[in-house]
A and B are shown apart, each in its own frame.
Chain A
């Protein structure tokens, strides 16, 4: 049953990867990569039970956190163009001065 579940997750990851490669906008790609990461967490969890080594769940836990932070960081990079300012209004003001 774990093999069936992991195969289903692998098929889903393949479809998400196709969308990440084909996606017309950047946001499509980020959404697909987000989905890919979530499915990776599930795949690691299922493989932990498939191989009987439940220590692997720690890796899935770390991956879940890193995936979310990575998506938010990628979004910030795409929308603001830099990582410099954490204050949205300040960076907007800087951009206004430059223009």
Chain B
């Protein structure tokens, strides 16, 4: 019973974080802020949802598979974000600054 409530909370928190990340990637103004929204929420959203599912699974082979998925996502998600930001910066895509807009206005 307590485990059910706990996994409810974890799953809903994970889903809410996912939606926050989705809104972030949809509404933010430039590439780097979008990557920030997507990259940060991705890892924590995956962690909460997989932990919630793991509480439902109990000690079984399913829990072990969930742990494996979690380990891969935990390492590959920040790596992919870093590779994306690195490639974008090297290709000459500059972050959008406040002072750029101020210069454009003046």
Contact = CB atoms under 8 A, between A and B. Distances in A.
Interface string A59-81: 01100110110011001001100
Given A31-B38, A49-B53, A57-B69, A39 B83 contact: no
A64 B61 CA distance: 18
User: Which bracket fits the contact residues of A?
Assistant: 35 or more
Most chain B C-beta atoms within 10 Å of own C-beta, residue among A18, A19, A65: A19
Interface in B15-41: 15-16, 18-19, 21-23, 25-26, 31, 34-35, 38-39
Contacts of B15: 4-5, 7-9
Given A9-B49, A54-B62, 15 more contacts: A5-B14, A8-B12, A8-B16, A9-B15, A15-B19, A15-B26, A19-B26, A31-B35, A34-B84, A38-B42, A41-B69, A49-B57, A61-B72, A71-B80, A75-B87
